[in-house]
Amino acid sequence: MLKIGCAEVLSKLRKIIFLTLGPAIAAFALEGFLVPNNIIDGGIVGISIITSYLTKFNLGTLILILNIPFMFLAFNKIGKKFVFQSFYAIFILAVATNALHAFKITDDLLLSTVFGGIILGTGVGIVLKNEGSLDGTEIMSLVLSKKFGYSVGEIIMAFNIFIYSAAGLVFGWERAMYSILTYVIAYRVIDTVLEGLNSAKSIRIISEHYAEIGKELLENLEIGVTYLKGTGAYSGTEKTVIYCVVSRLELTKIKEIIKQIDPNAFISVVDVHEAYGGRTKKRIDKI
């Protein structure tokens, strides 16, 4: 019981640390690269940047105030744990943004776009990975998607089109295009943070020589293999499907082995964003 209690405390402490670090990193991207060069992010942060520019109102305070209605919305729809963690992360973002105000790194628009997007995506990704959020747009989109039938992605896209159009009118269309590029970079970095650099591949192999291929993979490459039973819809004959999860670096070698044993084998490769348990994750982590 004591071990379980300690593990739980450490887990919560770790989450608090990352929910503090993530917003601080995002604030550094905003104040160091984006805001001083009139480049915005999407969502509520983007609206806050435009509003702050027009009214001269404190940016950190705006980010906090504009997100509050969405936190109330999320309380009933997503749960109080998510709301508390998100509100804490947004509060840290607001405080860090004010603390780093006028902390400009560069005037170069391309450097600001690229590095601002990378750093911002890293910060947002850390928060999302620890069950929090820095933007109420996704919460709003989740609620509206259930009510009107549109997907979350479609609603976010429509919302951001409005925001970047407003940015074009306020800051000029060149800055709006840089802002869109920042959003795209940040979006890809968020995916990398959430999925990890060691993304794996799941492989399904259909071959008459399944036993030989499976033995080669298991003994020579030390790859865990599972045999699945299936039936060909056209032929009606039973098939044995080889299933395994490997790293990207192992994929090429596996293809070579299969080609040598059975050039006519059917191979299906699918991205695996997360893999837990067994020998798979241990092997992937080593690579």
Domain shared by 145 and 263, yes or no: no
Domain shared by 148 and 228, yes or no: no
Domain shared by 268 and 180, yes or no: no
Answer yes or no: is pLDDT of 124 > 50: yes
pLDDT of residue 47: 93
Domain shared by 47 and 145, yes or no: yes
pLDDT of residue 285: 46
Domain shared by 47 and 183, yes or no: yes
Residues paired with residue 241 on neighbouring β-strands, in sequence order: 206, 228
What are the tens digits of pLDDT across the range 7-52? 778 888 898 999 999 999 999 999 999 999 999 988 899 999 999 9
Residues paired with residue 268 on neighbouring β-strands, in sequence order: 204
Domain shared by 208 and 238, yes or no: yes
Q: Give the integer Cα–Cα distance in Å for 122 and 112.
A: 15
Range of the domain at 242: 200-286
88 to each of 70, 98, 117, how far by Cα in Å? 14, 16, 23
Domain shared by 265 and 239, yes or no: yes
Q: Give the integer Cα–Cα distance in Å for 135 and 144.
A: 15
Give me the CATH number covering residue 225: 3.30.70.120
What are the tens digits of pLDDT across the range 216-275? 888 887 888 889 988 877 777 888 899 988 877 778 888 888 999 999 999 998 877 666
Domain shared by 245 and 268, yes or no: yes
- Which of 24, 224, 34 has its CA nearest to residue 124? 24
Total tally of structural domains belonging to the chain: 2
**Encoding tokens for residue 13?**
């402490």
Domain shared by 62 and 148, yes or no: yes
